[in-house]
Chain A
Amino acid sequence: MLKRIDAALEEVRKPVSTANGLPNVFYTEAATFAEEREAVLFANWSAIGFASDIAGPGEAMPIDFAGMPLLAVRDREGTVRVFQNTCRHRGMILIEEKRTITGAIRCPYHSWSYALDGELRATPHVGGPGHNMHDDICREALGLIEIRSHIWRDVIFVNVSGNAPDFEIYAADLIERWREFDQPLFFGGADSAFQLEVDCNWKLAVENYCESYHLPWVHPGLNSYSRLEDHYHIEAPGLYSGQGTHVYRPMIDESGSRFADFAGLHSRWESAAEYIALYPNVLFGVHRDHAYAIILQPVSHERTIEHVAIYYASADMLAGDRAELRAANSGMWKAVFEEDIFVVEGMQRGRHGVRFDGGRFSPVMDGPTHLFHAWVADQFVAAGHGA
């Protein structure tokens, strides 16, 4: 299998006009998913959850990240940390459900207890009944394993390997591109978040998100005001890709009111919007009056959960009198994302066609999608595959 991957990677890394897509095994085989976990998801800055989901002090949320149990915790000073959700004693899962920790994280097995910064605080009976210390058990060395993390645009990113450059360097290009949107985001709350469970590999959701080619066919409603020719490619090789539109129109309710705009935006944002996949697994959208993030949670090689959260420009937009408009906006996006489900699930099934060679790209329309494929191939080469 590895030989097959190695030869195919070179085809993927060719220019878009002659390249093939990633081969089937990247979608259909658990073994390749396991390699991808290391080479792509763990080696880079991957999205695992929203900071606003643990908004209060002491809130702790378990997260399954491609099979790895993680725990995101906000301490009493507001700092968010991500730990491996595994006790340092016998490896018990520490937190099963999201909850608020008022004191320490107590392992449910033998009650070793950890502070919210990961420090091991108590080791009851470790030296025998009623003896809570032992010379060979150094608590200072047995804190929770912290996973390198960073928050940007409310998204919690982790670099499991610990070897990626700092996030600000990793994402510098996109941070700069959207510098104007670098301002407080107000999460719309329960009516502005939803999940979609899809039977496909996570990469198919990225690939589909990057391109506008499918819009007139899959989203005819969207296309009635946002035509194919109003879209442009966003291509940052090795970093991110996506699409933009020149004809964004804010949603307006019957009374003519609409969401407030982010402050100080350049006039070109009056009718522009951008949709970008920051590799590997988060999809962002920005508009003058709202933004969103979609975290792709890779459950297995054939299953993904899409976590969607929508944000507004001011606290006023979170008020009750905006609830209807927020719900309408969420409903609009949900309908659009649901329209994509049959294609990502259909491509997953199509990948079981053993004679499929990864497919050809439109040299004109598929540039952003090819960039993602080429980046994944690059990650495998960096991990030791290829010529």
Chain B
Amino acid sequence: MGRGSIDAALLDAHARHDHAALVSLYAQAADMFEESGEEDAACFYLTHAYVFALEQGLPQQAGLHARLCAKGRDRPRDGQGIGSAAPSYPWARRPHHLPW
């Protein structure tokens, strides 16, 4: 896909609220700019791919995040995966389960 057709596909995916498609399209755009050595543009698209993968809990998030970290554009966090961080309030540590 060329730059123009990726742009069109991105607009279309946004219009359809197809966030899974956004992840792969933004990642493709990032790859393209990375190949042509346009690092800032690559990181811009990588960021979008990562955020939409994070939003949906998609497995690609780890790889995308690692690439951003390797480029000094983001940083690793403590703990693994969503929901593993210690909650900020003591009462949040007591799980509230359904009664059944």
Contacts and interface: CB of A to CB of B under 8 A. Distances in A.
A78 B96 CA distance: 7
Interface in A102-137: 102-106, 111, 113, 115-119, 121-122, 124-125, 129-133
A106 B55 contact: yes
B47 A103 contact: no
A303 interface: no
A113 B55 contact: yes
Contacts of B92: 79, 81, 117-118, 146
Q: Is the interface of A mostly helix, strand, loop or mixed?
A: loop
A77 interface: yes
Given A102-B56, A116-B82, A130-B46, A148 B99 contact: no
Contacts, number: 115
Contacts of B41: 130
A103 B23 CA distance: 13
Contacts of B46: 130
A245 interface: no
Contact of B98 (A102, A129, A130, A154): A154
Interface in B41-64: 41-44, 46-48, 50-58, 61
B73 interface: yes
B89 A119 contact: no
B47 A78 contact: no
A81 B87 CA distance: 10
Interface in B10-68: 40-44, 46-48, 50-58, 61, 68
Interface string A288-319: 00000000000000000000000000010000
Interface of B: 40-44, 46-48, 50-58, 61, 68, 73-75, 77, 82-83, 85, 87-89, 91-92, 95-100
Interface of A: 51-52, 55, 75-81, 102-106, 111, 113, 115-119, 121-122, 124-125, 129-133, 139, 143, 146, 148-151, 153-154, 184-186, 315
State the 6 A-B residue pairs at the shortest beta-carbon distance, nearest first: A103-B57, A130-B43, A106-B55, A130-B44, A184-B100, A132-B74
18 contacts: A51-B98, A79-B95, A79-B97, A81-B87, A102-B56, A103-B55, A103-B58, A104-B54, A104-B55, A113-B54, A121-B82, A122-B54, A124-B48, A130-B46, A130-B73, A146-B89, A148-B91, A184-B100
